[in-house]
Amino acid sequence: MPKSIQPIRSVKGTRDLLPPETGLWQRVEDEARSVFAVYNFREIRTPVLEPTALFARGVGEETDIVTKEMYTFADRDHESLTLRPEATAGVVRAAIEHSLYNLGGIQRLFYIGPMFRRDRPQKGRYRQFYQIGAEALGSEHPLVDVEVLEMLTVFLSRVGLENVTLLLNSVGCHLCRPEYLRILRRALEPIRFQLCADCQRRADTNPLRVLDCKVPEDQALIDQLPTILEHLGPECRQHFDRVTAELTDRGIPFTIMPRLVRGLDYYTRTAFEMTSGSLGAQNALLGGGRYDGLSETIGGPPIPGFGFAIGEDRLLMAVEEAGKLPNPESIDVYVAWMDDRAFIPARDLARSLRAGDLSVEMNYEPAKLKKMLGAANRLRARFAVIIGESELASSNFQVKDMSSGEQHPVEPDRVAAFVREKRSSPVQS
């Protein structure tokens, strides 16, 4: 390779996911699909590219996501387009566009895919990152919230994560939140200059975020501030109480965090987050909540909704650390043939094993048995089929179990059945 040309590299904040890691990603996604299916969530695939206005209006003009993190550009016809920074707005847009609200009942949708935000990359944060999310549209019933939270806990335990904390809050609705914001602003006025520089700024720009401050010196003062939970309207209060009561009944542990706020404007009532250690500073594994007014803000009819997004990149970090989910990187059979006369029987065997849904690799050139068994070992093949002179003479291939070392002569037509039978019996590793 000529050194004078510098190799092209992946864009900052994006990365290649390679095997064997992709095997683990597939396992996690398979679990998500199977758990979501049981709760009758079906897949939706929306475009990565959306009109910029969708996010400006849906997510909120003043949010950090919209003001400084979006990949926005003018299309050739000058229409402003944006790479989606999150998927909920797009899902709701699609629900409106296809009149899903006319189908009746609750529309339960899930998605898996890449999102884009132009942050400075760091641990657990990338400019192209992946989210697994779900949205339940068409009901404001608190049991919807609980059912989705239950589904999340089932999913997380399926991928081997046990110690995840559910942090819960209610952020009120369009009726009670403005009133609370006035109260909060009034409470901040006398103490703001005793707070950290960031909080002084937040007091103006986004007072709710002051509640989220992590500076130790500020905590005592912040603890004195009124919480939104104390100022919920009667309907929001009732909704929240039903959610917490039902979670308790179902044995789903949670911690009420009166100071938990979300960064997207569309959230109403239930807001939640699940955090996990081992993720560094970005410890939010997933987040979500209710967004009963979102549809209207993007021009649709009232469609109440509840949903979440899991940071798949972060989820995988946690799953790898927990080490409970086996990574399935292995093949069933390595076909090892030794001289040219063995090639055709070997090739035919590989074809028929593959037709029978077994994963097979073979050598393309005659090679020493030792070398091929070494290859089989490296590929973590469960069996090696040896085809050499004596096997051709006896019309029986040697099938070697790579974990035990045992070896049996097997007729060519019976190899698949032999492998399948021994594979399904419990193996010691």
Partner RNA sequence: GUGAGCGUAGCUCAGCUUGGUAGAGCGCCAGACUGUGGAUCUGGACGUCGCGGGUUCGAAUCCCGUCGCUCACCCCA
Smallest distance from RNA to CB 346, Å: 12
Give whichever of 237 and 369 is closer to RNA, judged by the CB atom. Answer: 369
Smallest distance from RNA to CB 375, Å: 7
- Residue whose token pair is 């993190």: 69
319: its two tokens:
């799953």
Give yes or no for a contact between 289 and 171, defined as CB atoms under 8 angstroms apart. yes
SS3 188: helix
Smallest distance from RNA to CB 245, Å: 25
Smallest distance from RNA to CB 45, Å: 19
Give whichever of 189 and 389 is closer to RNA, judged by the CB atom. Answer: 389
Question: Which residues contribute to the site for RNA (CB under 7 A)?
Answer: 3-4, 9, 12-13, 15, 63-65, 69, 86, 117, 119-126, 129, 131, 198, 202, 206, 209, 212-215, 261-264, 273, 280-287, 309-311, 313-314, 338, 368-371, 373-374, 376-378, 386, 388-391, 398, 400, 402-405, 407
Smallest distance from RNA to CB 265, Å: 9
Give whichever of 212 and 246 is closer to RNA, judged by the CB atom. Answer: 212
Smallest distance from RNA to CB 249, Å: 26
Give whichever of 103 and 350 is closer to RNA, judged by the CB atom. Answer: 350
Give whichever of 210 and 416 is closer to RNA, judged by the CB atom. Answer: 210
Greatest C-alpha distance within the chain: 95
SS3 91: helix
Number of H helices, E strands in the chain: 16, 16
Secondary structure, 3-state, 253-307? CCEECCCCCCCCCCCEEEEEEEECCCCCCCCEEEEEEECCCHHHHCCCCCCCEEE
Q: Indicate the helix (H) or strand (E) that contains 241.
A: helix 234-249
CB neighbourhood size of 396 (10 A): 16
CA distance 338 to 239: 72
Give whichever of 61 and 79 is closer to RNA, judged by the CB atom. Answer: 61
Smallest distance from RNA to CB 6, Å: 8
R_g of the chain computed on alpha carbons: 28
CB neighbourhood size of 245 (10 A): 12
Give whichever of 12 and 98 is closer to RNA, judged by the CB atom. Answer: 12
